[in-house]
Amino acid sequence: MHERSLVQNLLKQVRQIVATQGGGRVSEICVQAGDLSGVEPLLFAAAFEEMVPEVFSAECRLKLDLVPVTAVCSHCQHEFEVLDFQFYCPECQSGTVDVIQGDELQIISVTMESIDSHEGVSA
């Protein structure tokens, strides 16, 4: 499954982020995936749920933000959302467009709690 390797790389990157921040308990990982990224959201989430306990706590949540494909026309510079994979400008009908958003898969944020943090804990 393609999504398993993506999640494996994601968790590796998050582990590196945690290490550079001095450690901590990861409670949420927010990822942005574009419609052209090749990510199947349900399979990605299932792979995350399966693999995250091996690296972080099973309580670590995934927040997956899906991003629509956006393009800009090379002729008239009109920026538009690509619908139904129709890569032509709705203003001038040109087929010469550049994708400016929607092909990415990236970490947006990692929410961590300090390991020795006692916030919210009452004695």
1-26: pLDDT as tens digits:
589 999 999 999 999 999 998 888 99
% of the chain beyond a pLDDT of 70: 92
Closest CA to 67 of 114, 30, 19, 98: 30
- Is 64 a member of any domain? yes
In the structure, what pLDDT confidence band is assigned to residue 116 with cuts at 50, 70 and 90? low
- Is 38 a member of any domain? yes
> Collapsing DSSP states into helix, strand and coil, what is residue 30?
strand
Query: Which residues is 30 bridged to in the sheet?
Result: 63, 109
Provide CB contacts within 8 A for 59, sequence distance 6+: 27
- Is 24 a member of any domain? yes
The pLDDT of 34-45, averaged and rounded, is 94
> What type of residue sits at position 121?
V
Q: For the chain, give me the number of helices (H) and strands (E)?
A: 2, 6
Averaged pLDDT score across all residues of the chain: 91
> What pLDDT does 22 receive?
87
CB 23, CB 14: distance < 8 Å = no
> What pLDDT does 12 receive?
96
- Is 88 a member of any domain? no
Show the domain range for 22. 2-68+102-113
pTM listed for this prediction? 0.80
Number of domains in the chain: 1
Q: CATH code at 35?
A: 3.30.2320.50
11: left (phi over 0), alpha (psi -120 to 50) or beta: alpha
20-36: pLDDT as tens digits:
988 889 999 999 999 99
- Is 37 a member of any domain? yes
- Is 79 a member of any domain? no
- Is 60 a member of any domain? yes
